[in-house]
């Protein structure tokens, strides 16, 4: 490809221009690699926010290989179109939760990355299958029983994309998110391929023991929307490996979460899940979802369809769900669970049920289940 390069009158080339758009090297424009000091995290985050929000059509932002760029949370952009994020190195977030940026109105922590109104945006890496680009949330400092009692749910998600279309995520390792790893909320036409999730307290662990399970709420891929294809991925975490979530009254791209295919996935965690789905005044619905050709070694739960309490008189449905050729080995708890969500909140089915028969497990009203197939 023909290209023209100009320099910024310093010793490095800052931006290259091609006939199709700019290629911006984050290190060349001032990103500092290999320094985890708080001041550097803040500088890198400020620069990244400025750069992301100035991207133009057909731009590519490159994070070079063999470099680690330390960041704080609160990286935000909206209305990006036809741009590419090429992560060849490592983007690693600080574990300093005392200094983590917070929303000025709610005072809750900001997510690591939050994007909205994207169209034709790609997150990729030029690396090979065995050396993916990495986004690392440094979640270990946020996990644990004591930390949960102090922090509760006020932890950042690693990558959130809201109200967006025509997305591709590929060749990335999403590692050690403090909370949910990837949340595609109200998205349409999303493909995720060759992208892995790894959230474990001990790097070599192969079981979901009590210590591992204190990496609470580290969902893998949480999705709501329409026309989703996730394939050829590896997931190890301590909550839902994949969770298809319902749309709501504010959703734009569909009224139901529907038309999704998940295939050729190796997963170990709290299940290939539908839900939880709760009845709503707008009639909640999740339909036409397929999981196939997936393997789950040493998982905590396997197939997991779950409803949750809704308001009296509200309705919802889970319909046309297919699990096909799902291999489950050594499940710690349930290989297959259809029913109310097991959780610790009021009105949920107890995590101790049925092992402690006295514990409650109420069946939520208003949800209908139709055409659920396992084969």
| Cα–Cα dist 3/9, whole Å | 19
Q: Residue 344 has what DSSP assignment?
A: S
Does an H or E element contain 68, and which? Answer: strand 68-71
| Cα–Cα dist 368/302, whole Å | 22
Fold match, 22-179 / 208-375: yes
What SS3 class is residue 31? coil
The radius of gyration computed from the CA coordinates of the chain, to the nearest angstrom, equals: 21
Per CATH, the number for 208-375 is: 2.160.20.10
CA atoms within 13 A on the CB side of 149: 2
Q: How far is CA 63 from CA 26, 146, 181, 200, 350, in A?
A: 6, 35, 20, 25, 45
Q: What is the pLDDT of residue 16?
A: 63
Q: What is the pLDDT of residue 14?
A: 58
CA 76 to chain centre: 16
| Cα–Cα dist 267/300, whole Å | 10
Q: Where are the alpha helices (DSSP H) in the chain?
A: 38-52, 145-151
Q: Which tokens sit at 273?
A: 């899940």
Domain boundaries, the chain: 22-179, 208-375
| Cα–Cα dist 73/231, whole Å | 28
| Cα–Cα dist 232/238, whole Å | 20
Q: Which tokens sit at 205?
A: 């662990």
Residue pair 275/307 in contact (Cβ under 8 Å)? The answer is yes
Question: Check: CATH 2.160.20.10 for 22-179?
Answer: yes
Per-residue pLDDT of the chain (375 residues; tens, 9 = 90+): 323 332 333 334 456 665 579 999 999 999 999 999 999 999 999 999 999 999 999 999 999 999 999 999 999 999 999 999 999 999 999 999 999 999 999 999 999 999 999 999 999 999 877 789 999 999 999 999 988 888 888 999 999 999 999 999 999 999 999 999 999 999 999 999 999 999 999 988 999 999 999 998 999 999 999 999 999 999 999 999 999 999 999 999 999 999 999 999 999 999 999 999 999 998 999 999 999 999 999 999 999 999 988 778 899 999 999 999 999 999 999 999 999 998 888 788 998 888 898 899 988 888 899 999 998
Q: What is the pLDDT of residue 363?
A: 85
Q: Which tokens sit at 134?
A: 């990495």
Q: Work out the widest C-alpha separation in the chain, in whole angstroms.
A: 74
* Residue among 281, 294, 287 at smallest CA distance from 256: 287
| Cα–Cα dist 19/154, whole Å | 45
CA atoms within 13 A on the CB side of 262: 32
């Amino acid at each position: 490809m023909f290209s023209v390069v100009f320099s910024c009158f310093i010793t490095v080339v800052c931006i290259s221009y091609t006939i199709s758009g700019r290629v911006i090297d984050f290190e060349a424009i001032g990103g500092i690699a290999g320094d985890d000091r708080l001041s550097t995290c803040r500088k890198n985050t400020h620069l990244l926010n400025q750069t992301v929000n100035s991207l133009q059509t057909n731009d590519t932002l490159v994070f070079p290989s063999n470099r680690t760029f330390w960041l704080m949370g609160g990286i935000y952009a909206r209305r990006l179109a036809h741009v590419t994020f090429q992560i060849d190195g490592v983007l690693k977030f600080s574990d300093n939760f005392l200094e983590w940026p917070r929303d000025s109105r709610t005072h809750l922590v900001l997510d690591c990355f939050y994007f909205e109104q994207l169209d034709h945006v790609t997150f990729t890496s030029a690396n090979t299958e065995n050396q993916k680009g990495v986004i690392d949330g440094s979640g270990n400092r946020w996990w644990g029983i004591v930390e949960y009692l102090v922090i509760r749910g006020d932890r950042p998600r690693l990558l959130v994309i809201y109200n967006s279309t025509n997305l591709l995520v590929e060749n990335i390792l999403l590692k050690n998110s403090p909370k949910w790893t990837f949340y595609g909320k109200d998205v349409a036409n999303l493909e995720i391929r060759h992208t892995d999730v790894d959230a474990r307290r001990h790097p070599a662990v192969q079981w979901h023991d009590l210590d591992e399970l204190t990496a609470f709420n580290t969902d893998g891929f949480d999705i709501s929307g329409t026309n989703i294809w996730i394939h050829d991925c590896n997931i190890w975490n301590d909550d839902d490996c994949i969770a298809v979530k319902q749309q709501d009254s504010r959703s734009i791209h569909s009224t139901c979460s529907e038309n999704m295919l998940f295939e050729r996935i190796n997963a170990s965690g709290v299940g290939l899940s539908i839900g939880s789905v709760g009845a709503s005044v707008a009639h909640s619905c999740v339909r036409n979802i397929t999981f196939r050709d997936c393997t789950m070694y040493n998982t905590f739960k396997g197939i997991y369809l779950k409803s949750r309490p809704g308001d009296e008189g509200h309705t919802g449905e889970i319909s046309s769900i297919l699990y096909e050729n799902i291999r489950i080995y050594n499940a710690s708890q349930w290989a297959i669970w259809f029913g109310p969500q097991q959780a610790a909140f009021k009105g949920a089915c107890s995590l101790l049920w049925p092992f402690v028969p006295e514990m409650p497990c109420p069946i939520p009203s208003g949800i209908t289940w139709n055409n659920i197939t396992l084969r």
